[in-house]
């Protein structure tokens, strides 16, 4: 063979493709560019015509129209390197999934195999654009055993056509077991949402009696019949169960002076459901108090009650239809009741039975706490 002749046969020892594998993550409607190099290690010139070839046993194949290779062909001299630009362009309407293929630079196969000698395997994980938008992607609330709760979540169709949904509930175990099973939760929503329109999903929760713990799960929206694939939002759920106590909390203390006593009982109210709860409405905390000194009941004089809170301006909601409105989020509130008692030396016992709250704090101040000028 004369020097300079072009050959097409190669072996694993006289050529190399780098990289031999490439993995990319691409949002549908976007593209990515990668560089591949072919090294001719032999003493003969090699001609290359790279092309996309399907991978055997691949669930989703890369479409030929998605891949452009430049240059489309090349002649590589001995002991030289040829670089190629591979542009992967993913159309907007491609469904989420992992697509596979390989770029074959020569038609040579490994001995007794269907694998190509000079190839670069490709894996493209496609994330399609979401078709729906949820008012929130997480529902968290504190629920009471034996009560029923109803929540409403808005869903907007942001696709360019009608979409179908079929919300399905899945719970997951954190190691302690859920407080109740999925059959205590009922979901209702329209099966179709017209393009550009919104609809409500209703979630009814019947908390059993005599249960404790928490329920964790999520609602898969099954948009257009597709299960969770990362493209469309799902609704996570966290419901912590508490029971109304029937016996009071007791605090004992001792006084060695006749100074007046001021008692404050307070509770933090967390709007964990962020306005999603429809029923039951939040009720203000209250407390049944008792006070005993040296085994005798003592009357307390009510002084005042105070409600305060923290308000965020803007929305924690993701729903675009709310984006142009001032959405005040009164997430955390504080409620306190203050009582006074004429002081006396002795042993005291304060009992507190809370209602409509799963937390409270107390303070016992001795002496005149009124402000003086």
pLDDT, tens digit (0-9, with 9 covering 90-100), for 327-360: 676 667 899 999 999 989 999 999 999 999 989 9
pLDDT in tens, 150-171: 999 999 999 989 999 999 999 9
What integer best gives the mean pLDDT of the chain? 89
User: Do residues 361 and 284 both lie within one domain?
Assistant: yes
pLDDT value of residue 12: 59
Average pLDDT over residues 285-310: 94
pLDDT grade for 257, boundaries at 50, 70 and 90:
very high
Summarised one tens digit per residue, pLDDT across range 197-219 is: 999 999 999 999 989 899 999 99
| Whether residues 306 and 360 fall in one domain | yes
- Residue written as token pair 């070839």: 53
Instruction: For residue 58, tell me if it sits in a domain.
Output: yes
**Contact of 201 with 188, CB cutoff 8 Å:** yes
pLDDT in tens, 66-79: 999 999 999 999 99
Q: What confidence score (pLDDT) does residue 129 get?
A: 86
At 7, the pLDDT band (50, 70, 90 cuts) reads very low
My answer on whether 196 and 301 are in the same domain is no
One domain for residues 161 and 255: no
**92 pLDDT exceeds 90?**
no
Count the domains in the chain: 3
In the structure, what pLDDT confidence band is assigned to residue 61 with cuts at 50, 70 and 90?
very high
**In a domain? residue 372:** no
- pLDDT given at position 2: 40
For the beta carbon of residue 130, count every other beta carbon within 10 angstroms.
Answer: 15
Domain end call among 242, 259, 279: 242
Please tell me which residue, 313 or 112, carries the higher pLDDT value.
112
Binned at pLDDT 50, 70 and 90, residue 305 comes out as very high
Instruction: Show Cβ contacts of residue 281 under 8 Å, excluding neighbours closer than 6 positions.
Output: none
- Backbone phi, then psi, for 238, in 5-degree steps? -140, 110
Per-residue model confidence (pLDDT) at position 327 = 66
pLDDT at residue 367 in the model: 86
pLDDT at 313 over 80: no
pLDDT value of position 332: 78
**Range of lowest pLDDT (19-23, 58-62, 324-328):** 324-328
Inside any domain, residue 371: no
pLDDT digits (tens, 9 = 90+) for 93-123: 888 889 999 999 999 998 888 889 999 999 9
- What value does the mean pLDDT take over residues 18-29? 94
13 and 122 housed in the same domain:
yes
CA distance 298 to 349: 10
> Is the peptide bond between 19 and the residue preceding it cis, with omega within 30 degrees of 0?
yes
pLDDT at 80 over 70: yes
The token pair that represents 222 in the structure block:
């099954």
- Same structural domain for residues 26 and 122? yes
- State the CATH number of the domain containing residue 351: 2.60.120
Q: Residue 259 above 80 pLDDT? A: yes
Together in a domain, 99 and 141: no
Q: Rounded distance, CA 282 to CA 274, Å?
A: 12
Q: Are residues 222 and 305 in the same domain?
A: no
Is position 373 within any domain?
Answer: no
Low-confidence winner among 22-31, 288-297, 318-327 (lowest mean pLDDT):
318-327
- Residue where one domain finishes, among candidates 127, 152, 183: 127
pLDDT digits (tens, 9 = 90+) for 227-251: 777 788 999 999 999 888 999 999 9
Q: 48 with 87, same domain?
A: yes
Whether 232 and 265 map to the same domain: the answer is: no
CATH of the domain at 200: 2.60.40.10
Lowest-confidence pick of 220-229, 290-299, 321-330, 346-355: 321-330
5 confidence band (pLDDT: 50, 70, 90):
very low
Tell me, yes or no, whether 27 and 95 share the same domain: yes
The structure tokens listed for 63 are: 């479409």
189 and 256 within one domain: no
Structure token digits, residue 189? 């929503």
Whether residue 1 is contained in a domain is answered as no
Does residue 114 lie within any of the structural domains? Answer: yes
pLDDT, position 47: 94
How far apart (Å, rounded) are the C-alpha atoms in residues 20 and 34?
12
67 in a structural domain: yes
* The pLDDT value given to residue 128: 87
Range of the domain at 336: 249-366
Which domain-ending residue is among 187, 221, 242? 242
Residues 6+ apart with CB under 8 A from 30: 90
Token pair listed for 239? 């419901």
């Amino acid at each position: 063979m004369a020097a300079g002749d072009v050959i097409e046969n190669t072996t694993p020892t006289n050529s190399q493709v780098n990289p031999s594998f490439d993995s990319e993550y691409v949002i549908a409607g976007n593209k990515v560019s990668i560089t591949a190099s072919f090294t001719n290690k032999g003493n003969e010139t090699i001609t290359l015509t790279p092309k996309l070839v399907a991978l055997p046993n691949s669930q989703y194949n890369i479409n030929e129209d998605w891949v452009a290779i430049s240059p489309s062909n090349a002649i590589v001299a001995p002991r030289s390197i040829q670089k190629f630009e591979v542009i992967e362009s993913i159309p907007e309407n491609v469904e989420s999934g992992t697509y596979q293929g390989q770029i074959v630079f020569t038609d040579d196969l490994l001995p007794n195999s269907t694998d190509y000698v000079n190839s670069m395997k490709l894996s493209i994980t496609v994330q399609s654009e979401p078709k729906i938008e949820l008012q929130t992607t997480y529902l968290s609330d504190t629920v009471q055993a034996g009560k029923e709760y109803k929540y409403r979540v808005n869903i907007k169709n942001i696709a360019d056509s009608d979409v179908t949904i079929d919300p399905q509930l899945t719970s997951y175990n954190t190691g302690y077991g859920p407080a109740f099973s999925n059959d205590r939760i009922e979901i209702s929503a329209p099966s179709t949402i017209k393009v550009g329109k919104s609809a409500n999903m209703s979630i009814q929760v019947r908390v059993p009696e005599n249960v404790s713990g928490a329920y964790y799960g999520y609602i898969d929206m099954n948009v257009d019949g597709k299960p969770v694939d990362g493209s469309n939002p799902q609704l996570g759920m966290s419901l912590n169960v508490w029971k109304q106590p029937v016996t009071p909390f007791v605090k004992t203390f001792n006084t060695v002076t006749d100074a007046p006593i001021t008692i404050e009982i307070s509770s933090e109210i967390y709007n964990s459901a962020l306005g999603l709860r429809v029923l039951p409405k939040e009720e203000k905390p209250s407390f049944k108090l008792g006070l005993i000194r040296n085994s005798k009941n003592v009357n307390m004089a009510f002084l005042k009650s105070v409600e305060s809170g923290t308000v965020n301006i803007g929305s924690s909601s993701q729903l675009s239809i709310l984006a142009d409105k001032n959405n005040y989020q009164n997430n955390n509130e504080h409620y306190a009741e203050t009582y006074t008692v004429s002081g006396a030396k002795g042993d005291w016992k304060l009992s507190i039975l809370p209602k409509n709250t799963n937390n409270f704090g107390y303070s016992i101040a001795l002496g005149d706490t009124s402000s003086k000028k």
